Amino acid sequence: MLNHLNNHRTVRKYSTQPIEKELLEELLTAACRASNTGNMQAYSVIVTTDETIKKQLAPAHFNQPMVTQAPVVLTFCADFHRFSKWCEMRNANPGYDNFQSFMVTTIDTLLAAQTFCIAAESVGLGICYLGTTTYNARPIIDALQLPKLVVPITTITVGYPDGEFPQTDRLPLEAVVHYEKYGEFTDYAIDHIYAEKENSEFYKNFVAENNKETLAQVFTDIRYTRTANELFSDKFIEVLREQGFMK
């Protein structure tokens, strides 16, 4: 299992081989065994295989080709709609139309999503997380007809890999693990942690191609800018209001 986890690769191109329904349901069953708050399972998964719906979803994901090319697209959704409806039908008064409940269901949704990914990779499938889901949640809600108290959190494309894919680099363990309490980073520590990444030919070329002085500038000035972050923040907060998670 450790070897399997340590060899994770993102797959963005898939073969034409379909995923059998029985296998897909086995993987989804495994995902639903993930830990969750209060055993409420406050999440839903929308399985998309229809080409027309994939094309409707594609613009929300900046038309990344794997959305239409993958045999299966999974949209993992924070969902207190179902649980609240059950409460109301059983003479119980649900109180899940708030931000705390949204955080609970979001955590549970991502636990289920990651469990699915581990299960999928264990049987030879490839996956790719799409971080665009919360950028453009409204068109995804519309395309998938999500009711109140349901919000898309992440999208995963899945299929059999078409080719070999390199493993993405990761920071050393000391960059993310703190023992007992948070340890502040000295300038020396920052230099050490990011040295391998900054000195790799891949990232040096990445900096040059973007006409920047440092790799950090590529992130702050081009990839994840303040302007974009604030724009998508405002859009997502509005979605949370519209879907009933914020007053």
* Residue 134: per-residue pLDDT: 97
Fold of 2-165: NADH Oxidase (3.40.109)
56 secondary structure, DSSP code: H
Average pLDDT over residues 5-28: 96
Average pLDDT over residues 175-192: 97
Average pLDDT over residues 57-72: 98
* Residue 247: per-residue pLDDT: 83
pLDDT single digits (tens) 67-119: 999 999 999 999 999 999 999 999 999 999 999 999 999 999 999 999 999 99
Whole-number average pLDDT of the chain: 97
Residues 6+ apart with CB under 8 A from 242: 138
- Domain chopping of the chain, boundaries: 2-165
Cα gap 137→238, rounded to integer Å = 10
CB contact at 8 A, 99 and 239: no
Block residue for tokens 């594609």: 58
* Residue 110: per-residue pLDDT: 98
Cα gap 164→150, rounded to integer Å = 36
Cα gap 133→119, rounded to integer Å = 22
